[in-house]
Structures are given as structure tokens and as C-alpha cells.
Amino acid sequence: MKKKITVIGGGTGQANLLRGLKNYNIDLTAVVTMADDGGGSGKLRQEIGMLPPGDIRNCIIALSDIEPAMETLMQHRFKEGSLKGQSFGNLFLAALNEIYGDFELAISKISEILAVRGRALPVTLEDIHLVAKLANGNLVNGESNIAQECINQSTRIDKILLRPSNVEAFPEAIDRINNSDIIVLGPGSLYTSIIPNLLVADVAKAIYESKAVKIYVSNIMTEYGETTGYSIYNHMKAILDHSIFPIIDKAIINKKDIPGNILQKYLYEGQTPLFLDKKQKKQILELGIEVIQEDLITIKNELLIHDSDKISKVIMDLAKKTDSSKINQSIL
């Protein structure tokens, strides 16, 4: 029977991981945040009232079996005129949404067209927005404004909230979580890609109650404004504080050094590397979370990213160990 793996998050980190996992013979699902209100997605939300397509578009493309030229087309962003900054893939989803009058059906149709391996599901079909309560007591409305306001006000995020606060989860997303063997959180923006999913009603509870092994994949670097000054432990503690439930069993963390020239570029942009020290490891272990450290990074176009093949192999190795553990328990 195929292993059922559900990846929860949003942004490029989630899509990159899906590119590796889709090469395994598994039942793969992406549960994707619907809180994006910036860029092309934000314009489509404002102008035609549809749910933000950007993150789910990236996941669909990552899961698809299409030629490089088709992927280039789907990711193409217009450079001039009223469409400047908008991606063709967003417009494709917007057209399907208008034709069928249903965002869920639009996702299903584009998945058929692009021969998707697995499922990409919105965490909710309701219109949601993020609100950040900052450490200085101020509130910031809108996902696209949060990091910049942290910079402008020289403060951190205290808590992320959803507006409205009582939105319902997409039923199939909950069903996939309930029936998963492995649930993966991240990699991705802490407060704007991962945590928003956990604030949708019943999502964190479903993760906690699932019999799946719950894995957190740590980011490689902090994000300027959103997680400036954070450690790996700070990231994990924020997830646990927002979810209420203990929803992390294992943490996968990069241990490979970052080349000096690449590191300097990120430091200049206000981002610092996320490595595990003895103090953090002790703190994480005290939470009852197993730590797994591997060489996980690669460099593409001078950008530091997780190596999708390496991180996928670590996850699949954990899946095999889980099977062995179950067999041993049944024998005993």
C-alpha cells in the first residue's frame, strides 16, 4: 500500500519539497495556505474576488509532469502593461475559476490538464486575511505588510491571527491529514506560510490526533523582518504556541556549512543561517522532539535552497523506519 504523505505550508519551500517527493511511489498531498494578499494573487483577490492562486499554483506545477517549456509558460510573469507582475499560471487558474464558478473545481481541472501526481488542496475555501499582533502591541493587517512593518517598527511578531477567526477547513484537507502516515510542516515562512494553516478550525487538532509521524523541516535562513534574530528553537516554539497541541515528533535540520560568498549575500540582506547548537538541541529534546541533522542544502542561481532530492530521501527513510517499528511492535 502506498505511503500517504501530507505536506502543509505554502510558498516556494513547500513547492520545492514536493518536487522531490513526487518521484516516489506515494499518495502525496499538499495542504496550502490561502492567506496570500500580495503580488499577483493580491491583485486577483481585489479585482475579481477569487481566492489567492499563487501558492497553490506553485504546488500544482511542482507536482505536475509537464515539459520544461510548459513550466516556463505557467511561471511566466508579464513585464509590461496592466498585467505587469502577474503570472500566466495565476491567470490560467482565474480563467478556470470563472468558467466553472468554483475554485475547488478550477484546481481539479488544472491538475488534470497538467497531469499532477498527487493533490494540491486549499486549507480553506473561505476568504481569510492575516493580522499580526506585534511585540510592541500594534496590529498589522495583511500578510504582505507584516515583515515590512516589523522592520519599520523595529519589533517582532508576538502572535498571528486569522480574520475571520472561525473559518472552516476544507473537508478533504482534514480527511487527508486524518489518514496520513507522514505529515510534514515546512519548510516555509513561519508566520505567513506555515502557522496560518494551523489557525484554521480543526487543522491543528486533526494533525495532533492523526496517527501519522509529524515532521518539521527547518528553514535554512531567517527571513528579514518576519523572523529576524530567531533560532530554530524559536521557530518550533512559535508553531507549538500557535497550534496549542504538540504536533511535532521529529525535526529535520540542515548541518551543511554555507559557502562564504553566498552567506555574505544573505547577511547583507538581513538574513542569518539557522544552525543547531547544544543549547537549542537540549531545548528541542526537552519538548520530546527527535532531532535529525543532515546535509540538505544546494545552491541554484546563487540562491540557497533545500536540495529536494536529499530532503525527500530523509523523509522517505523515516517512513521506512516507521514501518519497521510497527512490524516489531506487532511481533512483540
Residue range 300-328, pLDDT digits in tens? 988 999 999 999 999 999 998 876 555 34
Under 8 Å between Cβ of 267 and 228: no
- Rounded to whole angstroms, how far apart are CA atoms 294 and 311? 9
Please, which residues have CB within 8 angstroms of residue 280's CB and are 6 or more apart in sequence? 231, 232, 233
- Rounded to whole angstroms, how far apart are CA atoms 159 and 191? 9
The set of cell numbers assigned to 117 is: 501526481
* pLDDT score for 25: 96
Please, which residues have CB within 8 angstroms of residue 168's CB and are 6 or more apart in sequence? 124, 126, 200, 201, 202
Residue range 131-180, pLDDT digits in tens? 999 999 999 999 999 999 999 999 999 999 999 999 999 999 999 999 99
Q: Which residue has the cell 493533490?
A: 119
Assign 3-state DSSP to the chain and report helix, strand, coil percentages, each to 5.
Answer: 45, 20, 35
- Rounded to whole angstroms, how far apart are CA atoms 11 and 55? 5
- Rounded to whole angstroms, how far apart are CA atoms 62 and 60? 5
Domain ranges for the chain, please list them.
3-9+20-27+169-189+197-330, 35-122
Largest CA distance in the chain: 68
Under 8 Å between Cβ of 116 and 109: no
Q: Does domain 3-9+20-27+169-189+197-330 have CATH number 3.40.50.720?
A: no
Radius of gyration (C-alpha) of the chain in whole angstroms: 19
Q: Looking at the whole model, is its pTM more than 0.85? A: yes
- Rounded to whole angstroms, how far apart are CA atoms 86 and 13? 20
Residue range 242-301, pLDDT digits in tens? 999 999 999 999 999 999 999 999 999 999 999 999 999 999 999 999 999 999 999 998
The number of C-alpha atoms within 13 Å of 196 and in the hemisphere containing its C-beta is 30
Helix (H) or strand (E) holding 58: helix 54-63
* pLDDT score for 325: 52
Q: Are strands 3-9 and 182-185 parallel, antiparallel or unpaired?
A: parallel
* pLDDT score for 66: 87
Reply yes or no: is the peptide bond before residue 187 cis, omega within 30 of 0.
yes
Tell me the CA distances in angstroms from 210 to 4, 172, 205, 246, 296, one per residue in order: 12, 14, 8, 12, 27
